[in-house]
């Protein structure tokens, strides 16, 4: 072990902020590498705590609990990036936090994120910061309808956003969305949505997974196709963009970059998340090392293997009671690989698990084949 404590030796304790399914699958990957995980989460008996060595159940604003947690771990990472800034400062003053606090702060705020991306020469949908009704009017005049209003903080799975289709909608939506300022984006008439997940190690080594296509239902990820059925050149370009962002951030850890492919084949970055991502769950079954393993390896200072796919894959999320009702059929169908998150109650819109179907590399089927693979 180097004087800095990295790479972490087997038996070291990785602290994970957040106790959901991303933490659960990260903790399972960490256990395979001989590490113990200590979860910090407000939720008792959550998905990550169920499979981890220790848990601290406390609010993210509880500084006494954060202090004790930091004392008890060797490195800190997260599966939930919205830790309040002062808590983050406390953690950073005590133990290495990977990815670092600058990356977190950026991903917590859409405005900072968009400025960072555009300053780095990376294209996004046209956007404007909106502080009041006259600002909204001016921005709508520029972008036209439809347009998308988004909160700058705490938005995920379509929460904290509104599509504006006509003048009637806009001021009610603007009044509802909090906190201000918010962002107005031009609506992108995309041909598909893709994402690229990339790991970057402390030594600067970089391992991007293949770009995948993501299809949403009610703003929640429904299906991921790996690899994205797009021309190789476009996939290479998407990969270059994700690697460029990881480099620019000097990331240590994992980064998911969501992009729109517009009708002309152009790529616009929608959002970045510096953690494992729902659109990377297929890597658990279709890659030699999953997104969770690469995340843990980067955080622990271990060498990063190439993010190599051995199979093509379709991943289907299991959301809410409707999808959970299909579980017996999923379990009975040969070739479907189920992953359940240990959540007690299948509330509407809640991600309960997913399943993956593998195909030999290079033979991801077309639309009919995908429907057939997912039929139960």
Smallest gap from residue 276 Cβ to ligand AMP (A) = 16
**Binding piece for ligand AMP, criterion CB under 6 A, among 86-94, 164-172, 185-193, 298-306:** 185-193
Does 158 sit near ligand AMP (CB under 6 A)? yes
CB of 218 to ligand AMP, least distance (A): 10
Closest to ligand AMP by CB, 42 or 158: 158
By the rule CB under 6 A, 270 interacts with ligand AMP: yes
Nearer to ligand AMP, 30 or 148 (CB): 148
- How many other C-beta atoms can be found within 10 angstroms of the C-beta atom of residue 87? 19
* Residue 193, strand partner residues: 214, 260
For the bound state, the minimum distance from the C-beta of residue 322 to ligand AMP, rounded and expressed in Å, comes to: 20
Q: Report in angstroms how near the CB of residue 216 gets to ligand AMP at its nearest.
A: 5
Point out which span in 93-101, 186-194, 226-234, 340-348 binds ligand AMP (CB under 6 A).
Answer: 186-194
| Residue number, 58 or 220, with CB nearest to ligand AMP | 220
Under rule CB under 6 A, residue 273 binds ligand AMP: no
Instruction: Tell me the number of residues near ligand AMP by CB under 6 A.
Output: 13
Torsion of CA 290, 260, 140, 164, to 10 degrees: -70
The token pair at 97 is 């936090």
Answer for the pair 277, 199: CB distance below 8 angstroms, yes or no. Answer: no
Ordered alpha helix ranges (H), 108-260: 110-119, 133-143, 167-176, 232-248
Using CB under 6 A, which of the segments 155-163, 201-209, 224-232, 290-298 binds ligand AMP? 155-163
310 part of the interface to ligand AMP, by CB under 6 A: no
Q: Verify binding: residue 155, ligand AMP, rule CB under 6 A.
A: yes
Enter the DSSP assignment of 309: B
Q: Considering the rule CB under 6 A, would residue 113 count as an interface residue with ligand AMP?
A: no
Q: Per CB under 6 A, does 188 bind ligand AMP?
A: yes
Measured from the CB of residue 99, what is the shortest distance to ligand AMP in angstroms?
19
Nearer to ligand AMP by C-beta: 53 or 156?
A: 156
What residues between 217 and 256 interact with ligand AMP by CB under 6 A? 219
Residue 207: closest CA among 300, 83, 305, 104: 305
Counting every residue written for the chain, the total comes to 376
Distance CA 350, CA 158 (A): 13
Check binding of 161 to ligand AMP (CB under 6 A): yes
- Among the listed residues 5, 123, 180, 187, the single contact to ligand AMP using CB under 6 A: 187
DSSP annotation of 49 reads G
The only residue of 79, 81, 193, 210 in contact with ligand AMP, by rule CB under 6 A: 193
Q: Among residues 122, 103, 287, which one has the least CA distance to residue 200?
A: 103
| Segment interacting with ligand AMP (CB under 6 A) among 38-46, 154-162, 199-207, 329-337 | 154-162
* Beta carbon of residue 270, minimum distance to ligand AMP (angstroms, whole number): 5
The residues facing 268 across adjacent strands are 260
State yes or no: residue 213 binds ligand AMP (CB under 6 A). no
Q: Which distant-in-sequence residues (6+ apart) come within 8 Å of 358 by Cβ? A: 285, 286, 311, 312, 313, 335, 337
Question: Does 148 interact with ligand AMP (rule: CB under 6 A)?
Answer: yes
The DSSP secondary structure of 134-158, one letter per residue, reads HHHHHHHHHH-SSEEEEESSS--TT
Whether the CB-CB separation of 72 and 13 falls below 8 Å is answered with yes
| Residue position matching structure tokens 């972490």 | 8
Please give the Cα distance from 301 to 251 (Å, whole number).
12
Tell me if 162 sits within 8 A of 173, measured CB to CB.
yes
Bond preceding residue 227 cis, omega within 30 of 0: yes
Burial of 115 (0-12, 13-18, 19+ CB in 10 A): middle
Question: Please, which residue, 217 or 347, has the CB nearer to ligand AMP?
Answer: 217
Interface residue list for ligand AMP (CB under 6 A): 125, 148, 155, 158, 161, 185, 187-188, 193, 216, 219, 270-271
């Amino acid at each position: 072990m180097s004087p800095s404590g990295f790479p972490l030796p087997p038996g070291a304790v990785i602290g994970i902020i957040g106790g959901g399914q991303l933490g659960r699958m990260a903790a399972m990957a960490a256990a395979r590498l001989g590490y113990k995980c200590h979860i910090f989460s407000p939720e008792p008996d959550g998905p990550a705590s169920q499979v981890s060595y220790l848990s601290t159940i406390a609010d993210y604003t509880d500084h006494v609990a954060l202090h004790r947690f930091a004392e008890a771990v060797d490195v800190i990472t997260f599966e939930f990036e919205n830790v309040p800034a002062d808590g983050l400062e406390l953690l950073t003053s005590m133990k290495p936090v990977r990815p670092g606090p600058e990356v977190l702060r950026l991903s917590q705020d859409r405005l900072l994120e968009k400025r960072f991306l555009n300053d780095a020469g990376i294209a996004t949908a046209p956007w404007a910061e909106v502080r009041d009704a006259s600002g909204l009017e001016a921005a709508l005049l520029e972008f036209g309808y439809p347009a998308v209003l988004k909160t700058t903080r705490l938005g995920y799975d379509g929460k904290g956003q509104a599509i504006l289709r006509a003048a009637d909608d806009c001021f009610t939506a603007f009044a509802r969305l909090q906190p201000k300022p918010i962002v107005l984006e031009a609506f992108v008439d995309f041909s598909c949505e893709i994402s690229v997940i990339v790991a970057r190690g402390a030594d600067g080594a970089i391992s991007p997974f293949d770009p995948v296509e993501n299809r949403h239902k009610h703003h929640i990820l429904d299906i991921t196709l790996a690899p994205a059925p797009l021309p190789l050149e476009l996939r290479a370009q998407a990969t270059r963009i994700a690697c460029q962002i990881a480099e620019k951030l000097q990331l240590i850890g994992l980064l998911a970059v969501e992009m729109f492919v517009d009708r002309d084949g152009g790529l616009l970055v929608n959002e970045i998340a510096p953690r494992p991502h729902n659109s990377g769950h297929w890597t658990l079954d279709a890659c030699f090392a999953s997104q969770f393993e690469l995340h843990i390896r980067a955080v622990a200072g271990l060498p990063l293997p190439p993010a190599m796919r051995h199979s093509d894959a379709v991943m289907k999320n299991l959301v809410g009671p409707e999808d959970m009702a299909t579980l017996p059929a999923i379990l009975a169908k040969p070739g479907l690989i189920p992953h359940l998150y240990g959540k007690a109650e299948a509330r509407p819109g809640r991600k309960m698990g997913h399943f993956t179907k593998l195909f030999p590399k290079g033979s991801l089927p077309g639309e009919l084949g995908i429907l057939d693979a997912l039929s139960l």
